[in-house]
Amino acid sequence: MLGKGYREPMDADQRLDAYRRKRRTELSGEPTGADGPPPRDGQPRFVVQRHDARSLHFDVRLEVDGVLVSWAVPKGPSLNPADKRLAHRTEDHPLDYIDFEGRIGGGYGAGTVIVWDTGTYDNLTTLDGEPVAAADALLKGHIKVLLYGHKLSGAFAVTHTKMGGDEANWMLVKVDDESADRRRRPTATQNESVLTGRTNSDLEAD
Ligand code: MN
């Protein structure tokens, strides 16, 4: 969780300080992020990881300028525009976390992680009809993205609400477009990894 007075660092390497500080990757088995972001171009990517930790949640991560900007969403994304999902902003993660699945050893985030959904996205954020870069959109506290995933598609908005006076509180909402669906609930019915077909329980049993 990011504390009060948190300011966005600008540099991808600095942005991963909190990630490195919070965990001992040699114990947790998570990517180290030590080499900095691998150079790449093309469409930015997203991942939603199902993380069965102390409490089950879904980690929604967007690739922005060499890091994965991250929120922990206790109830997970919904395709119903009426559902407002609390999204706790968490520390930026290294890009190689995007396909991480496994069992995180004792300590911070201990539990199992699978890639519940992944794909690319378009940043749709505009201000007065002009496109806004993703990093600027995050600084302003509102980003709208069009997801091209396996389970999730269409537009979603993430907005900084600071609900309850907590700087970490954002809200994830499905935009009411043709991909909105008030009945389908993928977080309840599709628990498997889109990469390996495994569930969190499969990893627990390993
Ligand atoms: Mn998590």
* Domain annotation covers residue 5: no
Q: Distance from the CA of 98 to the center of ligand 1, in angstroms?
A: 13
Q: Distance from the CA of 97 to the center of ligand 1, in angstroms?
A: 12
Q: Distance from the CA of 48 to the center of ligand 1, in angstroms?
A: 10
* Domain annotation covers residue 201: yes
Q: What pTM did the predictor assign?
A: 0.92
Return d(Cα 59, Cα 51) in angstroms, integer.
7
* Domain annotation covers residue 19: yes
pLDDT at 7: 60
Residue 148 backbone dihedrals phi, psi, to 5 degrees: -115, 80
* Domain annotation covers residue 72: yes
Q: Give me the domain span that covers residue 23.
A: 12-205
Q: Distance from the CA of 130 to the center of ligand 1, in angstroms?
A: 34
Q: Distance from the CA of 74 to the center of ligand 1, in angstroms?
A: 9
The domain tally of the chain equals 1
Q: Distance from the CA of 154 to the center of ligand 1, in angstroms?
A: 23
Closest residue by Cα to residue 140 from 125, 153, 155? 125
Return d(Cα 9, Cα 176) in angstroms, integer.
33
Q: Distance from the CA of 129 to the center of ligand 1, in angstroms?
A: 35
Q: Distance from the CA of 71 to the center of ligand 1, in angstroms?
A: 8
* Domain annotation covers residue 55: yes
Q: Distance from the CA of 64 to the center of ligand 1, in angstroms?
A: 18
Q: Distance from the CA of 55 to the center of ligand 1, in angstroms?
A: 9
Residue 205 Cα distances to 44, 84, 119, angstroms: 33, 34, 27
Q: Are 128 and 136 in contact (CB under 8 A)?
A: no
* Domain annotation covers residue 1: no
Q: Distance from the CA of 82 to the center of ligand 1, in angstroms?
A: 24
* Domain annotation covers residue 6: no
* Domain annotation covers residue 3: no
Q: Distance from the CA of 51 to the center of ligand 1, in angstroms?
A: 5
Q: Distance from the CA of 40 to the center of ligand 1, in angstroms?
A: 25
Return d(Cα 187, Cα 181) in angstroms, integer.
13
pLDDT tens string for the chain (206 positions)? 455 555 665 677 888 889 989 998 888 889 987 766 566 678 999 999 999 999 999 999 999 999 999 999 999 999 999 999 999 999 999 999 999 999 998 788 999 999 999 999 999 999 999 999 999 999 999 999 999 999 999 999 999 999 999 999 999 999 999 999 999 999 999 999 999 999 999 999 87
Q: Are 125 and 40 in contact (CB under 8 A)?
A: no
Q: Which amino acid is at 25?
A: T
